[in-house]
Structure formats: structure tokens, C-alpha cells
A and B are shown apart, each in its own frame.
Chain A
Amino acid sequence: MTVAAGIGYALVALGPSLSLFIAFISKKPFLILTLLSSTLVWLISLIILSGIWRAFLPLNSTTWWPFAILIFSSIAFQEGLRLLFWKVYKRLEDILDAFADRVSKPRLYPTDKMQIALAGGLGHGVAHAVFFCLSLLTPAFGPATYFVDRCSQIPFFLVSAIIALAFVTVHTFSMVIAFNGYAEGNKVDQLFVPSVHLAAGMMTMINFAYGGCVIGIPLLFLMAILTVMHCGRMVWRRLSESQRQVDS
């Protein structure tokens, strides 16, 4: 529906990430590199998953349980990859700390570590938005629009943009929670992230029913808000702890 609508859909999906990028990440080149590498990791995971599942596609779109298995396996794989990402990040943190010692600068602050985690999460989120929403937006720049049967109230592009917005939020902040959980050994945080991701994935299954997206999408946003709140609480707790340590 014209260029304006196309740009509008793109901004619905990626607007907050763009502002996060401009505010935090664009000033520090290392964070841009982190974002690019985490986007690449997500892309590779998507390629591997599609390679595994290629033989079974295209799925019959009347039954729901093949999709459930698909989503479950994909999320499990991606959470495993997050653990791997964490291990690589630990190594990188050691390298950066050693480098900081050698140039006699302070080591990485907790805020630095959280910023790296935020950049990593944002990379995942941007990759999701790009591959699930933006790449399908090309027809939206033309003169027509497209509706899916199961969710016929609003155009497909808007629905996918809104879902992408929720998932971007979930991915971005769950990476911060996850890294913090692995660093502190906090079991609650460590389990919180995969379960939220799984719950969000399963919520989209509700979209499978006719008119289901009216229920599914608000629930998805509930998950996103939950993630943001948990992340905010955790960051506040960490920062006040480290402030207390500095003061004492």
C-alpha cells in the first residue's frame, strides 16, 4: 500500500530497536560488531534449522501439531545456541579484561557487560524482525495489500510487524537476563529465559485458529512486558548492589 505504508510497517517492527541502536550502540564500535555477530549467529541457526526441516516442508496447514513440533525444536536449538554464545562471550570477556590491564585502563564495568548483552540480544531481535517480517514486506511498498484468512481483520503486514515488535523485545531483554543469570549462577533467571521464549513461541500457535490472533497477540505482548519488567528489576538490583559495594 505505497511506500509510506511500507516504511510504516518496517518502523512498527524495528522502531524501538532503531532508537536503542542510535542511543546506545552506534557510539561504541565494539557493540556494533557484537550486534552484527549475534545477527549472524541467529541467521546460521535459522539456516541449520531449515536444513533439518527441509524434507518435511511444505507443511500441511490444516493440522497444528507439526507446527508445534517445529516451533519447539527450533526454540530448543536456539536456547542451546544461546548457551554457546554465553561461553564465547566469557572467553571474550577474559580477552577484553586482559587487554584493559595491559593498556592500564579499568576493566569492564557491570554496565559494560550489560551493554554487550543488550547488543547481543538486539542482534537476535533485529535478525528475527528482518527475516520474519521485513523480508516479506516488499509487496507492501506496492499498490495493494494482503490479508490472511486466519486473521482477516488487519492486513498481514501489520500483524507480522506487531508480532515482530513483541519478539524483538523478548529477544533483546532476555539476552540481558540470560547473561546475568549465567554470570551469577541464578537458576531462576537461567530458566526464565527459555520458558519465556517457549511460551511466546507457543502463543503464536494460537494464531493458527481462525480469529485466534485477537487472543494470541495480546498474550504475546504480555510475555514481552513480563520480560521487560523482569529485566528492569534485575538490572536495578545489580546496579544498586554494585553501588553499595562502591560506597562501602
Chain B
Amino acid sequence: MESSILESIGQEIIGVMSPVSLCMLLVVLLVYSLSDSNPFSSSSAPIRTAANLVYLENPSDTTAQKLEGALLNALVFVILIAIVTFVLVLLYYYNFTNFLKNYMRFSAFFVLGTMGGSIFLSIIQHFSIPIDSITCFLLLFNYTIVGVLSMFSGGMPIVLRQGYMVSLGIIVATWFTKLPEWTTWVLLVALALYDLVAVLAPGGPLKLLVELASSRDEELPALVYEARPTVSRNEGNPRSTLGLLVAGVSDSGSVELQAVSNNNVRRDGAENRRSPEYTAIQVRNLENVEGERNRDEGERSPLVGHSRERYSSDSNSSEYSTVIHNRESETSVDEEMSPLVDLLGMDNEREHERRDSVVASRGIKLGLGDFVFYSVLVGRAAMYDLMTVYACYLAIISGLGCTLILLSVCHRALPALPISITLGVIFYFLTRLLMEPFVVGMATNLMMF
């Protein structure tokens, strides 16, 4: 019996959704385990961060004051992020790539070391783990150095890089959940709006960055999570690693399919067409400045289409991360996007002959900022109740799925924050206000359906 299509459809989506889910789960666990350590100290001395510059929330303020203060905070934060993004675009435009690279290395080192270190220390404190300071320092140092190496140089296993991306997202998200409540919610909504504008509007900084990067045929200078799809176990069928499945409805009412294949290898042939392969990228660049003000700033790039697919002729190299600016060693391959039926039929025969040539397929890329803000939303929901956590988790995952589907339809840069954050916020408030009295009232009377 031949294998059915059910084995392989939807792999890329799951490849992105699993690290996002893992990040959210770990942030929720961290929030739960670290929140009851000192319930009173958090309200006594709130740290002043970039998100808190204007207004420090006080539980005794009136609702109107809190709302106004939160709006001001969010506005200031978004303006700061916009300024930093524009500075980044300028630096990239004038080819300060070395500076950018070293700066990103430094900021990753700093975030992993100090913020990760303080979370590590509070975990030790909370669970009373018997460990001495020298061991602790050594472990932290190793962790940080390996993190920086795996993220910014080639030759490291891709799993390690993915793991460090997720842990970076966890660390930053845990720090963001220390913000006061009203500020967090308004900030999330403001960032979703900013993302929408910065990616889609004509003068938006992220759109400019993406266009610059694609015109120079380089990777974006930022932290991006790559989900490399694994080669399917079923070697007998060359079509088994097909990409996303998108359904369009033709005018006759029947359904027409468009499959985006992202692992075609063509070396020759009259069918060679240089057509773009579209992947999704969203970028986040984190910066942390020490001192009295802990500033967390980020910039976000849209989900982007890459105009060139790269592959390596070595079968093992699909496991290794690609270096950001080192392109000379890899040859470029003409990528074929197969939109219609007959091309797919012809693809089959060619692939059959050339199955030995190994393909490294490009999966979907998601920027680290998305990880962080999804986890912040879920972490803040965790501070209320578990029911809101599940509702927000489902909302965010479905928003992410919608965005990925939209991406395969639109084939251009797309912001990943707006849909998910909107759905997440709506579901949070609906669950908190409507669903909870309903469900708790019934469940405590042991009546369920």
C-alpha cells in the first residue's frame, strides 16, 4: 500500500508551531514557579524599563489614570522601537555590516548572560538547589558562549541553534512579564499595530530593510528562527517533502490547488525558470543596555520572501546553520515554484532521476520578536488563570496558522504579530469575563457536558 498524503501534509506549519508552543509552555512554567516566590516585592519597587518610562503603574490609581498612563507608556515604547529600527536601516544601508554583526553578538551575549543569569539565580533561590557560585558561574559562562557561537557562526548543529533561539525568546519574554498589567496589554496591542504599519506601509522601516536585503541578496541582519523541515522518512516518493498546501477556489466553484514546493532541484533543462521561493521571515533584533535603565528594544521585520534559494551539495549540511553573510561557498539554484497541475506531473519524473542529489529545503522562518510577544501574552494570561492560558494559546496558534496560510497566498512580507495578538487579546477578555463564571459555576456543581 502506498503511503497516503496524510503522512506529509502540514509539516512546515508544525515545524514553526512546535517551537512557539514550547516557548509559551516554558514561559508559563517559569511564571508560575517564580511568581509565588515573593508576592510582595514586585509591587514595592518596580524597575524602570523602556516600557515604563512615562508612567509607573500603582495598584491604587484609578482606572482612567491607569489607562492613560499605559497608553503613554506604549506610545513611548513604540516610538523608541521605530527610532531604533530606522537607525538599523540606516546602518544597513551604509554597509556597516561588521558593526551590526558584532553588535548583535554582544547583545545576545548580554541577554543570555545577565537576564538569563538572573532567571537562573532566582530559580536556584526558589527551589533551594544546592550549587556553589563557581560552578554556577562556569555553567552560565559556558551556556552564554555556546549560545553566541551557535547563533552567529556556521558549523553548529541546527538543533542547537534552534534551542538557543527558543531560550532567548523565553528569557526576554519572562522579563517582559514583569511589567504591570495594564501597560502590558496596551503595549501588546500597540506593537501589533506598529508591526502592521512598519511592514505593510510604503515608508515602513521593516519594509525598507527587507527590500534592501533582498536587493543585495543577503540575509537579514537579525535574529530569526529557521524551521528546517526534515526529509521525509518515505524515501520511495520524491514528492513526499512537498510544501504548503493552499486551496483556492476557482470561478467554477470547484477547488483548485496550489502547492508550493520548496525542495526542487534543477540543474538544467528547458523547464528552468527563475521564480522566487517564498519563505516567511520575521526578524527581531534585541538590544540590552546596562545601567539604571534596563532598556529592551527590538525591531521587527516582516515575513519576507527570499528571491533566491540556496542549497548545498553536501547531504549533511542541511543540519548545519547557514552563516549570515557567507554566501560564496554555496551555489545558487534555480528554484521552481509549481503552481499548476501539469508542472507537478513533470516534476515527478525529473526528481526520480535525480534523487541522489540532496536537497536542503528552506523551511519557514519566524522572527524572535514573535516568540517573545506571543509568550508575553500567554505569560500575562497565566497570571490570571489556567483557563485563560489555554484560550490565549489556542487563539495565538490559530492566528499563526492564518498568517502562514496568508503568506503562502500573498507571497510577500507579512507581519506575524497582528492577527495572533488581536485574537489572543479578544479571547483573553472573553474568557475572563464570559466563560469563567459559566464553566466554574457548572463544574463545581459537577455538571458537565
Contacts and interface: CB of A to CB of B under 8 A. Distances in A.
Interface string B421-434: 00000010011001
B344 interface: yes
A103 B449 contact: no
Given A50-B434, A95-B257, A135-B387, A36 B398 contact: yes
A28 B443 contact: no
B37 interface: no
Nearest to A198: B449
A151 interface: yes
B64 interface: no
Nearest to A128: B448
Given A54-B437, A57-B438, A29 B10 contact: yes
Give the 7 A-B CB pairs with smallest separation, nearest first. A50-B438, A135-B387, A207-B446, A29-B10, A29-B14, A201-B449, A135-B386
B245 A99 contact: yes
A40 B394 contact: yes
A32 B15 CA distance: 11
Interface in B57-91: none
Contact of B259 (A102, A132, A136): A102
Given A28-B7, A100-B5, A135-B386, A67 B447 contact: yes
A78 B448 contact: no
Interface of A: 27-33, 36-37, 39-40, 43, 46-47, 49-51, 53-54, 57-59, 61, 67, 70-71, 74-75, 78, 91, 94-96, 98-100, 102-106, 108-109, 112, 115-116, 128, 130-138, 148, 150-151, 156, 159-160, 163-164, 167, 197, 200-201, 204-205, 207-208, 213, 216
B131 interface: no
B435 interface: yes
A204 B7 contact: no
A93 to B, nearest CB: 11
B436 to A, nearest CB: 8
Contact of A105 (B239, B341, B437): B239
Contacts of B245: 95, 99
A109 B5 CA distance: 10
Given A104-B345, A108-B4, A160-B446, A95 B255 contact: yes
A51 B434 contact: yes
A134 B386 contact: yes
B133 interface: no
Given A36-B394, A106-B2, A46 B441 contact: no
B329 interface: no
A33 B10 contact: yes
B437 A208 contact: no
30 contacts: A29-B9, A29-B14, A33-B13, A33-B14, A33-B401, A39-B394, A40-B395, A47-B391, A47-B430, A47-B435, A50-B439, A54-B434, A71-B449, A74-B449, A94-B255, A96-B9, A108-B6, A115-B6, A131-B387, A132-B443, A133-B443, A134-B386, A136-B440, A159-B446, A163-B448, A167-B448, A197-B449, A204-B449, A205-B447, A207-B445
Nearest to B447: A204
Contacts of B252: none
Contacts of A137: 386
Contacts of B255: 91, 94-95, 98
Nearest to B341: A102
Contact of A102 (B14, B257, B434): B257
A139 to B, nearest CB: 11
B443 A136 contact: yes
Given A95-B247, A102-B257, A136-B440, 16 more contacts: A28-B6, A29-B13, A33-B401, A37-B398, A49-B438, A50-B439, A95-B245, A99-B5, A99-B257, A103-B344, A109-B1, A116-B6, A150-B445, A205-B447, A207-B445, A207-B447
A95 B246 CA distance: 9
Nearest to B426: A47
Contacts of B8: 29
Contacts of A32: 10, 14
A128 B447 CA distance: 12
Nearest to A163: B448
B360 to A, nearest CB: 20
Contacts of B434: 47, 50-51, 54
A83 B437 CA distance: 28
Contacts of B445: 61, 67, 148, 150, 207-208
B385 interface: yes
